[in-house]
Amino acid sequence: MDDYQKHLDNTKAQLDGVSSSFCVAKWKQVTMHLQNGMNHSCHHPKTHVVPISEIKFNPTALHNSEYKKQQRKMMLEGKRPEECDYCWRVEDSNNNSKDNSRSVYSDRVYKSADQWALPFVEDIKSKPWDDDVDPSYVEVSFSNVCNFKCSYCAPHISSQWMEEIERYGPYPTTGKFNNLEWLKKENMLPIPNREENPYVDAFWAWWPTMYTSLQHFRITGGEPLLNKNTFQVLDYIIENPNPNLEVSINTNMNPPDELFDKFLEKIKIIINEKKLKKFKLFTSAEAHGKQSEYIRFGMDYDKWLSNIHRVYKEIPSIEFTIMSTYNILSVTSYTKFLDDILDIKLTYGTPEHGRNPMLLDIPYLRYPDHQAIFMIEPEMIGMLYDQVTYMYKNLEYKNWYGTANRGFYEYEADKLKRIYTIAKQSLDDNANNETLRDITNVNRSNFVKFVDEHDVRRGTNFLETFPEFEQSYKKWKNI
């Protein structure tokens, strides 16, 4: 058993010592969508709105909302918050599995195992459930301005999606995918960028205090490089160094060239002059080439790869993570995508120090249902199995010279393995449960409606881009 596995086992034991549903992320991590005042802790649960009345006199309510405090109370009592079903699915799959191999862990364990989380277990346990808590890890999006409209994204996150839905209306699925009326009902419509935003104002009021106590700060989007607040944060860091802070920025790596140049120059100052403890970049992809461009409409896959290589060449010490949200459209080209990631690892790793510069995070898509892996057909599961096998065959290890070979980390492969486990379980569930099978067929029918409308609106061609789906497409179209 390796050291990391022992750490995960110990983490789970500490969490379960509080309760069987306890997760540190509910207390020490927050993502704030300032474009609409939404908030969640951990990226799996649905967002909830923070009433303006709560932040009016206490900007920290951007994290310590009354709603979230109730979820914390449930976890301390050993109850499972419904919004955390991602982890409950993974944990329950262990109980239902007939496979005797090592169990896979949920993100309740993976996230709580991090340094920004695990040291605070006893402190959280000892305090009242309704205390305000200072987060260690903050993510923020300032607006929905974006030059992409990814297939699983939404108008409150992408301005390109907003423009499309305002022009054509929602997609003709049974749930009317990306219906603005639903967004209005859920208070999720973004505040127009031309108007004053009280949530952004609250952020900047809180920022000087937040900045000194954070361990991790991350800017998400929209596309952050298209927002002036991102560059304001970078300028603040340059003027106010914080050697205890790690800062990360998400970017689609496809902004206009002049903005990307400006961004790289500021990163160079921050890194070369050691303004922070660490600076990281995050980007996203979950398929290869044209199939990736279909999923992430607006993307130039070759430019995405080229910009990644450029960053590594100009800033050798940079750390990159690719967030790869595995979905039904990932299945057919994911091995080729893994080839590109492995090439980056081999090209820019430094084996003498055991350093692996590219990390791969592989969650599975939860919503929309019509693009989730739970629709997988039996003939597709072999592709996913082969991808898991590919990762395990290319793991990082040290040879007898003591030199590290720069492949995938085992925990990266473990994350794809758990998706395979869940997908295989869904096939068994559909085969044995008529109700679940009916739900899956509705989602498959909606998938066809979505790609047909996608092709009409955006001038794409699904079957030319995904020829491997031809038989499934025809079958699903007749549901």
* CA distances to 2, 338, 420, 427 from 362, in Å: 21, 11, 11, 20
Q: Are 454 and 150 in contact (CB under 8 A)?
A: no
Measured between alpha carbons, how far apart are the two ends of the chain, in Å? 48
Phi/psi at 219 (5° precision): -105, 125
Query: At CB < 8 A and 24+ separation, what contacts does 434-441 make?
Result: 440/374, 440/375, 441/479
The whole-number average pLDDT for the span 53-64 is 92
Pairwise CA distance, residues 133 & 26, whole Å: 10
Q: Is the pLDDT of residue 32 over 60?
A: yes
Query: Are β-strands 29-33 and 38-40 bridged in parallel, bridged antiparallel, or unpaired?
Result: antiparallel
Pairwise CA distance, residues 371 & 462, whole Å: 14
- Reading the block at residue 84, the tokens are 């955390």
Question: Can you give the residue ranges of every domain in the chain?
Answer: 1-216, 285-477
**What DSSP string runs through 322-351?**
EE--B-GGGTTTHHHHHHHHHHHHHHH-BG
pLDDT computed for residue 129 by the predictor: 95
Sign of CA dihedral 120, 123, 125, 129: negative
Pairwise CA distance, residues 251 & 454, whole Å: 24
Pairwise CA distance, residues 198 & 214, whole Å: 22
Residue 94: burial class (beta carbons within 10 Å; 0-12, 13-18, 19+): middle
Pairwise CA distance, residues 375 & 248, whole Å: 34
**What DSSP string runs through 372-423?**
SGGG--HHHHHHHHHHHHHHHHTB-EE-TTSPEE--B-HHHHHHHHHHHHHH
* CA distances to 8, 18, 118, 126, 131 from 123, in Å: 20, 11, 10, 5, 11
Pairwise CA distance, residues 72 & 26, whole Å: 6
Residue 353: pLDDT band by 50, 70, 90 thresholds? Answer: very low
Pairwise CA distance, residues 245 & 205, whole Å: 19
* pLDDT one-digit tens code per residue, 458-470: 999 999 999 999 9
Residue 406: pLDDT band by 50, 70, 90 thresholds? Answer: confident
- Segment among 95-109, 155-169, 180-194 with least mean pLDDT: 95-109
Tell me, what DSSP letter sits at residue 104?
Answer: P
Q: Are 140 and 150 in contact (CB under 8 A)?
A: no
* pLDDT one-digit tens code per residue, 367-385: 999 999 999 999 999 999 9
* pLDDT one-digit tens code per residue, 4-16: 889 999 999 999 9
pLDDT above 90 as % of the chain: 80
Average pLDDT of the chain to the nearest whole number = 92
Identify the helix (H) or strand (E) that includes residue 259: helix 257-272
Q: Are 390 and 362 in contact (CB under 8 A)?
A: no
Q: Is the pLDDT of residue 100 over 50?
A: no
* pLDDT one-digit tens code per residue, 266-284: 999 999 999 999 999 999 9
pLDDT computed for residue 101 by the predictor: 53
| Torsion region of 65: left, alpha or beta (phi above 0 gives left; psi -120 to 50 gives alpha) | beta
Query: At CB < 8 A and 24+ separation, what contacts does 89-92 make?
Result: 89/422, 90/418, 90/422
Phi/psi at 372 (5° precision): -80, 160
Pairwise CA distance, residues 472 & 459, whole Å: 22
Phi/psi at 371 (5° precision): -125, 5
Residue 405: pLDDT band by 50, 70, 90 thresholds? Answer: low
- Segment among 175-184, 240-249, 322-331, 344-353 with least mean pLDDT: 344-353
Q: Is the pLDDT of residue 355 over 70?
A: no
